[in-house]
Each structure stands twice: as structure tokens, then as C-alpha cells.
Amino acid sequence: MSLTYNLSPDGKAFTIQIKGKFDFNVVQAFRSSYENVGESKPKVVVDLRETEYMDSSALGMLLNMQKSLGDTVESIRIANCRTQIKKILQISRFDKKFEID
């Protein structure tokens, strides 16, 4: 498991990348990552390109992030999902709460 994040130099995009398993083991790191989102109302991208596994705690973390960030960000997008991850998000109706691609 590995979690990295960065704010683009212009402050318009904040990206969180999760490699490996997106589960309860990353809860503290995930929460800490979006505390650094900045003040420029960036677009947040949760990049799951290298995420192999996601469980219900990951869904809760995404909802908590959305609630916590509220209007401090322009949007939240879940990007680069593998087929299996995208199915989990769709079954959980997250496509109604987030942009997913």
C-alpha cells in the first residue's frame, strides 16, 4: 500500500494516488492527505490507476472526504478505475455523488 498526494503548481488540481489496497489500513494517511488541499478551491482527483482492491471502508473514506471538503474544492473526481473497482463504485451508487472515469 502506498498513498501519495500533490497540489499542482498553479493550485488548480489536487491529486491523491493510491497504490495497492484501498482499505482501513490507509484511513489515517488518506485523511491527512486531503487536509493539505490548499485554499485555491482546486479540483480533487482520486487516482485509482494502481489500486488493486477496495473495500467498504474505502467507500466511507471517500464520503468523509466529500463531507469534510464541502465547498472548499471545485469538484471531486475518481479517476482511472480498474473495471472491478468501477463496478464497486457503481453498485454503491457513487456515480451519483462523484465524477467517475
Per-residue pLDDT tens over the stretch 9-64 = 999 999 999 999 999 999 999 999 999 897 889 999 999 999 999 999 999 999 99
- Tell me, what CATH number does 47's domain have? 3.30.750.24
**What is residue 6's predicted lDDT score, i.e. its pLDDT?**
95
Neighbours of 54 (CB within 10 A): 22
pTM of the model: 0.94
**3-class SS of residue 78:** strand
Give, in degrees to the nearest 5, the angle at Cα 99 between 35 and 66. 30
Instruction: Give the domain range for residue 17.
Output: 2-100
**What is residue 77's predicted lDDT score, i.e. its pLDDT?**
97
**What is residue 38's predicted lDDT score, i.e. its pLDDT?**
77
- Give, in order, the Cα–Cα distances in Å from 26 to each of 2, 23, 31, 45, 71: 8, 6, 8, 17, 24
How many domains are contained in the chain?
1
